[in-house]
A and B are shown apart, each in its own frame.
Chain A
């Protein structure tokens, strides 16, 4: 794809990914076919800011995990009062990274 399109994509979507993943995504996007552009540019990524807000407010019900698609872990968190409160606090620090990982998985389905 054209470098200009890719750079536009990177500028508007950089916050959805880990910083170390960004160069890899950029290289990969440049090398792939133009026909995938429509699909890639319309993927709905999960916002890490939303998940940290949900994690702080309703994290003990596992809502943050449900939202990013970790349904199983969400159920686990819900059934155990947020892992006796410990898992809730641990997730305040992990959830943004987990959301970015989920976004990367979502993008990878189109990239490779």
Chain B
């Protein structure tokens, strides 16, 4: 049981696919505000990652600084969405598990307290910035 290589690739692949559909919908109906964030609907306060959709859209339009201003986390999402499909395809074709090992190693790194605590502080800082910006 647990997360195996194939399960991770299927999950990641489907997530990327859903992400591209979500981006397309947002791009097509950009005049309307589509907010899916459950936390924001319930509390009225934006969550740490509110604004990432806009950020990713700006990124793909080449507007790097608008993307960074909208939400820095969007850059990470955009990087994952760009890289993951190619990495999965590479692994599947060459029958390797480099992405799976990379994922496991990243998990281990983030479980160390000297990485986790600054990461949590950064996320909270980004959250405060998000609330001030009133995304």
Contact (A80, B52) CB under 8 Å given A71-B110, A72-B107 = yes
| B22 at interface, CB cutoff 8 A | yes
Q: Chain A binding site: helix, strand, loop or mixed by DSSP? A: helix
Residues of chain B contacted by A82 (CB below 8 angstroms):
37-39, 47
Residues of chain B contacted by A80 (CB below 8 angstroms):
15, 19, 49, 52, 77
| B57 at interface, CB cutoff 8 A | no
* Residue of B1, B3, B49, B80 touching A81 (CB-CB under 8 A): B49
| B50 at interface, CB cutoff 8 A | yes
| B88 at interface, CB cutoff 8 A | no
Which residue of chain A has the shortest Cβ distance to B74 in the bound complex?
A: A79
What is the bound-complex CA distance between A104 and B22, given in angstroms? 36
Please report the total number of A residues contacting B with Cβ < 8 Å. Answer: 22
Chain B interface extent, by class: 20 to 34
Residues of chain A contacted by B77 (CB below 8 angstroms):
79-80
Chain A, 57-88, contact with B by CB distance < 8 Å: what is the 0/1 string?
Answer: 00011000000011111011011111111001
What is the bound-complex CA distance between A60 and B77, given in angstroms? 16
Q: How far is the CB of B43 from chain A (nearest CB, A)?
A: 10
What is the bound-complex CA distance between A81 and B1, given in angstroms? 27
| B64 at interface, CB cutoff 8 A | no
Residues of B that sit less than 8 Å from A by CB: 1-3, 15, 19, 22, 36-41, 47-50, 52, 73, 76-77, 80, 103, 106-107, 110-111, 123
Residues of A that sit less than 8 Å from B by CB: 60-61, 69-73, 75-76, 78-85, 88-89, 101, 104-105
